[in-house]
């Protein structure tokens, strides 16, 4: 590929997305979550409220991201999963069929979900224009070269293209620690 594309890398810590029905169960009828901080992806917020995620071995508090979704999804790194005693599967966000069962607890109630816990596949958000220019489309996989003393090549990075997306790569905390990621960390897309 002749186009040299430098992509900012962002680390996503464990978090979850809730559907409206589950907000009612965990927080009470007609409860409205309070947005605390907007994320770098415009229109996405982390809320003041948190949810206790309960595995076979332990539990931990997870941040909630809004807007609400059609299906509740719990995202964690493998280290979180080991501590909690959860066996999540590696998936792209939104692909929950057959994902791991998990329990959630809020101030108003508890939920035992038959699926919903995943380790999110690392991915790159990019505009459709850039994807076209690079000959890429949603679902394609690329490799990313990360410079630096603990740098390396990350393979199987899934492309997610949309006209509204800013160029960003999302990895989890295990992947971020492995490359010693900071807010200034970036990579180069290679094929
Ligand atoms: Zn993302």
- Which residues are within 5 Å of ligand 1 (an ion), measured at CB? 170
Span from the CA of 41 to the centroid of ligand 1 (angstroms)? 8
Report CA(20)–ligand 1 centroid distance (Å). 21
Q: Would the CA dihedral through 15, 109, 98, 18 be positive or negative?
A: negative
Å from CA of 160 to ligand 1 middle: 8
CA of 139 to the centre of ligand 1 (A): 13
Beta bridge partners of 63: 15, 50
pLDDT in tens, the chain (191 residues): 456 899 999 999 999 999 999 999 999 999 999 999 998 878 899 999 999 999 999 999 999 999 999 999 999 999 999 999 999 899 998 899 999 999 999 999 999 999 999 999 999 999 999 999 999 999 999 999 999 999 999 999 999 999 999 999 999 999 999 999 999 999 999 97
Which is nearest to 159 in space by CA: 149, 175, 151, 170?
Answer: 170
Going from the Cα of 168 to the center of ligand 1, the distance in angstroms, rounded, reads: 8
The whole-number pLDDT of residue 2 equals 58
| Ligand 1 geometric centre to CA of 77 (Å) | 14
Q: What's the gap in Å between 171 CA and the centre of ligand 1? A: 8
Provide the 10 A C-beta neighbour count for residue 121.
Answer: 19
Q: CB under 8 Å to 70, separation ≥6 — which residues?
A: 19
């Amino acid at each position: 590929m002749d186009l040299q594309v430098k992509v900012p890398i962002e680390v996503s810590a464990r978090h979850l997305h809730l559907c409206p029905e589950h907000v009612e169960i965990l927080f009470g009828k007609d409860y409205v979550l309070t947005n605390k901080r907007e994320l770098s992806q415009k229109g996405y917020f982390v809320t003041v409220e948190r949810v206790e995620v309960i595995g076979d071995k332990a539990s931990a508090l997870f941040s909630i991201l809004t807007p609400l979704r059609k299906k509740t999804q719990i995202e964690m790194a493998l280290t979180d999963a080991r501590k909690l005693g959860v066996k999540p599967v590696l998936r792209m966000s939104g692909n929950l069929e057959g994902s791991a069962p998990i329990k959630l607890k809020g101030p108003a109630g508890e939920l035992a979900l038959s699926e919903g816990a995943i380790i999110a596949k690392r991915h790159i958000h990019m505009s459709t224009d850039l994807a076209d220019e690079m000959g890429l489309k949603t679902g394609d996989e690329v490799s990313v070269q990360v410079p630096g003393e603990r740098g390396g090549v990350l393979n199987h990075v899934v492309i997610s293209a949309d006209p509204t997306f800013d160029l960003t790569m999302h990895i989890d905390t295990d992947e971020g620690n492995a490359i010693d990621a900071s807010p200034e960390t970036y990579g180069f897309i290679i094929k």
